[in-house]
Amino acid sequence: MPAAASISVVVVDDQQTMRSLVRTGLQQLGFKDIREAGDGEAGLRQVLTGTTHLVISDFNMPKLDGLGLLRAIRSHEPIRGTAFIMLTGRADKELVQRAVQFGVNNYLVKPFTVAQLKEKIEAVFGPLT
């Protein structure tokens, strides 16, 4: 039963709109430590340079895309235990399947509600307190 406030999150999306929406949702769920990155590369830096328990990342981004970010995280011992939730624009099974191969922990289809966000995070970490 992890407390939301004890989980630090990095939100990666090239759209400020989407980052703000995820951030607002997370804040409503009690998350406190939320960092943002505008592309996969910046996301990777964020994960490497600060404690990160969860990455919520868009798939389609310029530079390093979501799948690339996931692979990078999973291939590096010190951070491979970081949970990863993929944001997708539509229920693209093929894409999610590939992400599963690389060890994604869950996915979230845009647009999402705060309840859906909570559900997906809880599917990864167990019920939030």
Partner 1 sequence: MDPMAEIKATFFQECEEQLVELESGLLAMDAGDDSSETVNAVFRAVHSVKGGAGAFGLDDLVHFAHVFETTLDEVRAGRLAATAEVVKPMLRAADILADLVRAARDGGFVDPARCETSSAELKKITGIEDTAAADDDGMDGLVFQPMQVALPPIGDAPASGAPDLDIAALLAAAQPEPEPAPAEPGGWTLTFKPKAELYKKANETVLLLRELARLGDVEVELDASELPLLPHLDPEGSYLSWNIKVRGPAPEGDIREVFDFVESDCDLTVAPIGAEGEDASGLSADDVAAIASAEAELDIAALISRAQGGIAETSEPVGQSSEQQPAPVIAPAPAAPVAAAPAPAPAAAAPPEGREAKAAAAAATIRVDLDRVDRVIDLVGELVINQAMLAQRVTEAGMARASSVAVGLDELEQLTREIQDSVMAMRAQPVKSVFQRMPRLVREVAAVVGKQVRLVTDGEGTEVDKTVIERLTDPLTHMIRNAIDHGLESPEKRIAAGKNPEGVVRLSALHRSGRIVIEVADDGGGINRERVKNIAIEKGLIAADAALTDEEIDNLIFLPGFSTAATISDISGRGVGMDVVKRSIQELGGRISISSRPGLGSTFTMSLPLTLAVLDGMVVTAGQQTLVAPLTAIVETLQPRRADVSNLGDGARVISIRGSYVPLVDVGLSLGYRSEPLDAEQGVALLIEGEGGRRAVLLVDAIQGQRQVVIKSLEANYRRVPGIAAATILGDGRVALILDIDALVAASRGTEAPRMLQAG
What residues line the site for partner 1 (CB under 8 A)? 2, 6-8, 14-18, 20-21, 24, 33, 40-41, 44-45, 48-53, 60-64, 68-69, 71-81, 83, 89-91, 93, 96-97, 100-107, 109-112, 123-126
Min separation Cβ 56 and partner 1, Å: 13
DSSP 11: E
Min separation Cβ 93 and partner 1, Å: 5
Min separation Cβ 89 and partner 1, Å: 5
Q: The tokens of 125 are what?
A: 């970490």
Min separation Cβ 96 and partner 1, Å: 6
| Cβ distance to partner 1 smaller for residue 29 or 112 | 112
CA distances from 92 to 3, 21, 27 (A): 31, 21, 28
Select from 12, 121, 100, 88 the least CA-distant residue to 56.
Answer: 12
Place of tokens 């705060």: 114
CA distance 128 to 57: 20
